[in-house]
Amino acid sequence: MATVRTITLPHYPSYPIHICMFRDVTNAAFLRSQLLEANPDFDYAFLDPSMILSPSHLLGGTFLALHASLLSRAKTRTPHSELVFRLHPNNNIGEAYRKFGISDSSTAIIAVKLGLGPEVTNERVSQHLGEHVQGESVNVGEEAERVGDWCDVGKVRKVYKLENPKKKGGKKGAQINGVGKEVDERREMESVILGMITLKGS
Amino acid sequence: MSTTNMASTASDAQPPTTPPPTQPLHALPQPFTTSNLEVLTQGAEALVYKTTFLTPSTPCVLKYRPPKLYRHPILDKRLTKARLLAEARVLVKCRREGLSVPAVLGGDWESGWLVLEWIGGRTVRAVLDEWVHKFGLRARDGKTSEEEVKRELDEGLMEVVAEEKESQEAREGLMRLMQMVGRAVGKLHEIGVCHGDLTTSNLMLRTPERKEVVGRGPPRMTVSAQREAAMSGQDPPEVIPVQQEETKETNSLEGDVVMIDFGLATQTIHEEDRAVDLYVLERAFTATHPAAEHLFQEVLRCYGESFKGAKTVLKRLADVRLRGRKRTMIG
């Protein structure tokens, strides 16, 4: 059994989102091969945690993917691939999988399952993932606040082509301690990234 | 403007609020429903709601451009899409450059909606209205011309300032506010964006969050300020109305300036457009607050220092003042 957090997005109460995080994963290659074979049992969005900045980052992409799928406006074949695709700033699905999806050597994984039907429940997702993912399940927290814990901010900044905030001055230079600064920096990045993934493809 | 108008401006501390309609005037786009939605305002093009996004504790603004039935459906779709996209692109651009504007959290061009970050606080218009109300009271009766009223307001202000020691702080706070406005507009123009509808109602004074209050740590933080700060940290959707009242009580001028409503914004580097932005803002200042006119000089001063080329814009502003914002009256 894996620890799965179920989150309900405002405005889409009937489509819960199941999120699960693993570390020390040993069979990423197997999981990836199942994705490539499009095995319907493995219909998940497996994401690279180093590319997920914050819960809002993940949920923003999820909302847009869910929205596009429900309005039949998705650009990819499944709602889960749409989520991976949505997170990337460009319109290239393969590129999106390379950056945000898992590779054969991944050791950490975020698995997202969209509750599109009544048969997808927290227990079932938990059981299925627990059986097939060889790794240690990590609690993502009440509001999935820990999904950004393993983020590689530099990598994220590179993919979204965000400048390094060297010239921090003026009104925003008011923080005094380093911790506050890093939180602010992440928040600022998150705001820009949410805008970019919203604008993507238009 | 007549005396009666002045009086009414001075006595109304807040701009008149639209009575909340009992039911939405338009069908809402998927996935939004009337539950968890609160009408904020309605413009000519868009309906603005308050709701939550991504998490139940994240307040946000939903801007929805309903289809206009008098337009051909295809044209309507294209216009709505083009305008929404223009607004979102400008906002994201500003945000990338580090300007304080609402972040774009989500959107759907085909359906005509955009979800923006919630900015807690008051409009600069509300701040100025309150200021006029507080210090301009004695000048209200028996004045015939606008000039006289204005002078009286200024003098009245001076007297009050001399009397109350706290109002000196308020005055400094206002000056600081004006400087922030000038710099914000300067930065906006510097990155090649013109707002298109720069009025005092489209400028917000964002109430600082708790950690910022603590971080900046004015040693003389009042009890009410602490309470307000504590409240804003907890549960934004519930707290915001309370918070606004609190700020009014304390007359807090803390915070940073955030520009909102980029529905008419354009990406341009023409002096003319920049000057028109300033002109519109100046008109907004003078029209609603004659007593606050000299405050605008502070805005212009800071604007002039904010970027290379600002001085030429100020020169152009003098031309625009003479002729109005429409350059070409013919053709």
pLDDT in tens, A35-88: 999 898 899 999 999 999 999 999 999 999 999 999 999 999 999 999 999 999
Cβ-count burial B309-330 (b if 16+ within 10 Å, e if not):
ebeebbebbeebeeeeeeeeee
Question: Across the interface, which of B36, B54, B98 has its CB nearest the CB of A56?
Answer: B54
**Considering chain A, what is the average pLDDT of its residues?**
88
A195·B92 Cβ contact <8 A: yes
Average pLDDT on A140-160 reads: 91
Class of domain B122-206+255-323: mainly alpha
The answer to whether residue B189 scores a pLDDT higher than 90 is yes
* pLDDT at residue B234, as a whole number: 41
Minimal CA–CA distance to A2: which of A78, A112, A81, A80? A112
pLDDT in tens, B218-265: 333 344 444 444 445 444 333 334 344 444 444 577 888 999 999 999
What letter represents residue B267's amino acid?
Answer: Q
A171·B107 Cβ contact <8 A: no
Q: Are A157 and A164 in contact (CB under 8 A)?
A: yes
- How many other CB atoms sit within 10 Å of the CB of residue B16? 6
Distance from CA of A56 to the nearest CA of B (A): 7
- The C-alpha atoms of residue B173 and residue B171 are separated, in whole angstroms, by 5
Contact A161/B at CB under 8 A: no
ipTM computed for the complex: 0.89
Give residues with Cβ within 8 angstroms of B313, minimum separation 6.
B189, B271, B274, B275, B278, B303
Set out the domains of chain A in order of their start, with CATH numbers. 4-161+185-199 (3.30.2380.10)
The answer to whether residue B328 scores a pLDDT higher than 80 is no
* pLDDT at residue A100, as a whole number: 95
Q: Can you give the length of chain B in residues?
A: 331
Question: In the sheet where B55-64 sits, what is the strand order?
Answer: B38-42, B47-53, B55-64, B113-117, B104-108
Chain B interface, mutation test: which of A186, A191, A193, A197, most B Cβ atoms within 10 Å? A191
Confidence bin at A7 (pLDDT 50/70/90): very high
pLDDT in tens, B129-179: 888 777 664 444 444 455 665 666 666 666 555 556 666 777 788 889 999
Confidence bin at B329 (pLDDT 50/70/90): low
Average pLDDT on B107-131 reads: 91
CATH code of the domain occupying B11-118? 3.30.200.20
Chain B CA closest to residue A165 = B98
Average pLDDT on B292-321 reads: 91
Question: Percent of chain B at pLDDT above 70?
Answer: 67
Domain ranges within chain B, ordered by starting residue: 11-118, 122-206+255-323, 210-250
Minimal CA–CA distance to B7: which of B151, B182, B189, B144? B144
- Which residues of B are designated catalytic? 197
